[in-house]
Amino acid sequence: MEFRRDFFEDEVRNGYYVPGIMKRCWAASLEILLELDRICKKYDIPYYIDYGTLLGAKRNGGFIPWDDDIDISMNREDFNRFREVVEEEIPPELYFNCVEKSKDYAFIIGCLGFHEVSLDENRLSRYHEFPFLVSIDICINDSIAKDQELENVRESELVILGQLMLKVLNNERSGKNFEKSMRLVETNLKVHFNRKEKLEPQIYRLLNRICKEYEGDKGRKDLYAWIPQILQASHLNYPQEDVFPLSTIQFEGIEFPAPKNVDKMLRIEYGDYEKPSKSGGSHGYPCFSKYEKDFIALVGGEDKWHFRYRFKKEDLQHEKQENVRDMVFSLLRALGLQEEAMVARKNDYSFLQESLANGQDTALAIGNTIEQRLGEGTESVKLLSQYCEAVFHAYEKAKQGNSPEEEIKKLGEIRRECETALSKEWKKTMLILLDKAKNFPSIEGFYKKMQEQEDWEVLLMPIPYFTRKGSGEFSEEFIDTEAFPKEYSYVDYKSFAFDTVLPDCIVMNSPYDSCNMVYSIDPFFYSENMKKYTKNLFYIPWFVTDEIIWGAEEDEKAVVIMDYYACQPGLAHADHSFVQSEEIRKTYIEKLSAFAGEESREQWEKKIVAAGSCLLGQAEELAKQVLACMEE
């Protein structure tokens, strides 16, 4: 299956941040689904996409942004046929499992997916560079009993079993109460648990037996159900007239089987499904995160794993250095202090002569530096020439034993004029680093507002970025210079002398440094390196999300996903990060304090600034906040 390159990039869908590695997970899952689809077509086995996958197809045309797997459903008799043929058909990198197949399998659903975490080049190439485990969930619908009394008995059996399952899931496996629960199940369901074997697989085998109790002639043909739902005190009963004959529906641009009446099926499963809900808990989310340790072992240890930021408190510090412009203005301020000292000691002629001689040398040095940077003929250099002439007259007067008080006053006037002229001629420099052209709208309005500032020169610099292989190695290199708007000028990153210019401010749009598994900017432009070249390193996100409230159940998954864009080196190295709202600022501070340690909270409270976003039409407020945070 072919995807556009930008499909795999980090993205905000429906207000929810989707990291690029999740996109690769989706793509790998789709390839597995296509393999299942091929097998089912070959053997004429009905199946259909269901649950979150069907909901995403209906509402979004593809994955729900906060979903991380694919769900399909089959009726029991169709699943039995699939189970008989699947292992002969699937390629070696895939495996199939279910309760009937494996004694140690502890799930009620079947699954088709990868064996293991792998860096095999063929597998990575076929499955879109996704190295982790992922599988498709196969939900098995069973017949409802013809006799409602029998169905009531099954429901009571499930309630008894559910009490034991709850204790197992909550790890309450010791004491008399647990043994009592086991004996209650054994007595009522006529089963014996082997205490020497793992209990969970035995429970799921028993659950599976109960689910399929009325298959074949013992059950109704017109009504099937997802029986395990009874464990959650509800029913998912599917009239077969609403399922068959199957229809099709688009999912990520591909036609897949769907129930005949998609709307009714979704209302059975979700009620008012048209209203998005992010609830569902964050345990085990995203699905591939639990395999990170296996991947680290595969690549050779922690020192070769760069994709999860390891916070160091030193990263919050920024050792700053002056640039040439700073030094010139420092020298001008030093001349002002010298003038004050001369006024205070206006009758100390020896001191005055020495100070005036030093002032002459300083003024000449300033003038030479300005000409080297700005060329000849500037107003500030002309004023410095006048300053030197006034110094000469003051020196001669002091040499003759007369107080040069008026001349010193004149020096101050000329110097202040020079500072004003120089601030217009030699503007402060802001360098905005641009990686992907598609993210330019997040910075364009801010750039325009900063151009209105008379004392700032604002430069746009497109920089290279790379896609990564599944192993983390760099793959293709890109630079989007030609894709940016033509009405602006751009600086060539190859010829820009960072160590000479030392911009007053560097603005970055990418916070990840090496910690994104799918892409990377050129390592030279990582935040850890950029802060060596400026005294103001700022981060402006390329995206906005829906508001995320810390502690809100609906936002649990959104908070987890902040690992992929908030708990990143760029936010630690940046002097300030400018986020979209006060509510988001609070959530960032909570998330980062939990990530880096509570002792870091005060630092995050200073670093994270609620400033709006160009994407929300708030460029003016953003520019205002940036200027307010600027360190002179």
Which whole number is the average pLDDT over 47-62?
96
What is the overall mean pLDDT for the chain?
94
Q: Is 479 helix (H, G, I), strand (E, B) or coil?
A: coil
Tell me, yes or no, whether 179 lies in a domain: no
Domains identified in the chain, total number: 3
Residue found under tokens 């760069």: 306
Tell me, yes or no, whether 572 lies in a domain: yes
Q: Does the global pTM surpass 0.85?
A: yes
Which whole number is the average pLDDT over 523-530?
97
Which whole number is the average pLDDT over 398-407?
91
Which whole number is the average pLDDT over 2-22?
94
Q: Mark which of 409, 425, 441 sits at the end of a domain.
A: 425
Which whole number is the average pLDDT over 314-329?
92
Tell me, yes or no, whether 584 lies in a domain: yes
Q: Do residue 448 and residue 581 come from a single domain?
A: yes
Backbone angles phi, psi at 14, to 5 degrees: 50, 40
pLDDT at 283: 67
Tell me, yes or no, whether 546 lies in a domain: yes
pLDDT at 230: 84
Q: Do residue 421 and residue 452 come from a single domain?
A: no
Query: CATH number for the domain including 340?
Result: 1.20.120
pLDDT at 306: 79
Q: Do residue 411 and residue 469 come from a single domain?
A: no
Check whether 234 has a pLDDT greater than 80.
Answer: no
Q: Do residue 433 and residue 458 come from a single domain?
A: yes
pLDDT in tens, 340-378: 999 999 899 999 999 999 999 999 999 999 999 999 999
Tell me, yes or no, whether 137 lies in a domain: yes
Tell me, yes or no, whether 167 lies in a domain: no
pLDDT tier, 302 (very low <50, low <70, confident <90, very high otherwise)? confident
pLDDT at 281: 64
Tell me, yes or no, whether 305 lies in a domain: no
Nearest Cα neighbor of 590 from 569, 559, 557 is 559
Sequence-separated (6 or more) residues with CB below 8 Å from residue 152: none
pLDDT at 280: 64
Q: Mark which of 398, 425, 452 sits at the end of a domain.
A: 425
pLDDT at 303: 80
pLDDT in tens, 99-127: 999 999 999 999 999 989 999 999 999 99
Q: How far is CA 521 from the centre of its chain?
A: 15
Tell me, yes or no, whether 394 lies in a domain: yes
The CB density around residue 481, as the number of other CB atoms within 10 Å, is: 16
Check whether 335 has a pLDDT greater than 70.
Answer: yes
pLDDT tier, 235 (very low <50, low <70, confident <90, very high otherwise)? confident
Q: Do residue 84 and residue 125 come from a single domain?
A: yes
Check whether 563 has a pLDDT greater than 70.
Answer: yes
- What angle is formed at CA 478 by the lines to CA 528 and CA 537, rounded to 5 degrees? 25
Higher pLDDT, 490 or 283: 490
Q: Do residue 511 and residue 580 come from a single domain?
A: yes
pLDDT at 532: 96
Check whether 632 has a pLDDT greater than 70.
Answer: no
Q: Do residue 401 and residue 522 come from a single domain?
A: no
Which range marks the domain in which residue 122 is found? 5-146+214-273
Sequence-separated (6 or more) residues with CB below 8 Å from residue 208: 99, 100, 108
Residue found under tokens 């690549």: 299
Sequence-separated (6 or more) residues with CB below 8 Å from residue 489: 460
Q: Do residue 15 and residue 134 come from a single domain?
A: yes
Q: Mark which of 256, 273, 290 sits at the end of a domain.
A: 273
- 629 in the Ramachandran plot: left (φ > 0), alpha (ψ -120 to 50) or beta? alpha
pLDDT tier, 1 (very low <50, low <70, confident <90, very high otherwise)? confident
Q: Do residue 268 and residue 376 come from a single domain?
A: no
Q: Do residue 410 and residue 433 come from a single domain?
A: no
pLDDT at 305: 80
Q: Do residue 241 and residue 378 come from a single domain?
A: no
Query: CATH number for the domain including 570?
Result: 3.40.50
Q: Do residue 251 and residue 361 come from a single domain?
A: no
Nearest Cα neighbor of 126 from 102, 100, 94, 152 is 94
pLDDT at 176: 85
pLDDT at 504: 95
Query: CATH number for the domain including 261?
Result: 3.30.460
